[in-house]
Structure 1
């Protein structure tokens, strides 16, 4: 059975995620106590259900302490299990609660909204690293749906998803990035009037940055670093590795480099042991772009890099 466990901060978008899974024919359960998860899965298997999405979060009370052990238990029983954790900055959560005027699950007469968010973050701290983490702070609902849709695409041969995410530092560093590269030191197309309204996905901006020696050195250094250490992340049993590429506004340099790196790692062929890798690219400050075509097999060689 294919099982998606969804958790995260209240107000981070779990309802949007659960609705998406429901729309894609998953059996969905919200607010399940963690201790009941194995029982639920046994019942669904008995009923012939092939895939399920279950939301488990701070509303489960003390039973949330049992959740970190559940994915491994289910995997040992033969199930395919993925864990999705949705996060957001405190100021974003405060704004969302202010706009919706909903009550926080941990709110009480003696606890303010700010204190409730802080307490929930403390309770869920152990869960953030159980699987894939998405920072929804700057995401519109449609963008969040697209990001989640990319990660639920079945691919039995895949062992790791390598994601390149561009962003603007002035909007904050994404919480879901394991690696972050700062490219604000590179020449900025924003100061060229002919390029200012374009983005790093446009050919004139790409041509401008291709012509800069510093840009070429930066992308080669990032490529070499990822190529060297990606096998170590795979040996660490990671399902996802998110690489953040940040410039000032997140529209030119970071977008160009994220696109270039994604295309490079999708196209390259290495000559050692075969490891299955899927490559994705996102641009936090831009409208969603079409996903890359299905990735080829990448045989990873930690000591050697081929440059495009």
Structure 2
């Protein structure tokens, strides 16, 4: 069994260049959180896949090449795979050239019971019995799958964010784990961007629109940028806002956010906001954040 470290799991791909992961484990253990975390790091995730389609999906992913390079299949007791032999199904995939990494989520019984009671759901194997009976039956059914897993994640003492972070640590490529920051310029007269996490107002700066030689140019042009950033307070504004984004980025990442939008507005979204957005994105990249500038309203005037 693998030790579950990133080095032991990363880079294990099929002959077709696709990475295949099978996620299973106890109901209430956190399979859905694992699935969402895998999606965060670039996996195409299929939930509750019937056993008969395991090989078909692996073949489709392999033929898709780069389009579906990383595939995860989430299996639980609703799947007919457990009426036969999960370990055997995984071996069959490997024999056909599609080796899969198996992730098993587990938790202590009392924790699983509390989780089911908190959402007022019955266990899928509970029947007319107690929650504990359903959990015991599932443990027995999944015993061999647990023993053959490449990595076992005990979620007893993990909250959803901690579990997500653990999965991303194991399977995330460096660029997929990083927060991506879009510094978005816009014009207030066209409305606020609805997806903005921060909204900054650059209208306190003199407007290049009233400078005849700059009116037809944009904030991407060097002379306009020099003019905007040379106004009193402009560089302090950029520096302060850049520090704000840099200070909050680690918290956003811990909470599972993968995209941050910092909206910078001026009247029409042509001069001041564009120049500020470009400069902020440049400074954020210097701070090793994955940042780029995008200009929503440039060209509308």
Query: What TM bracket, shorter-length normalisation?
Result: 0.3 to 0.5
- Structure with the larger helix share: 2
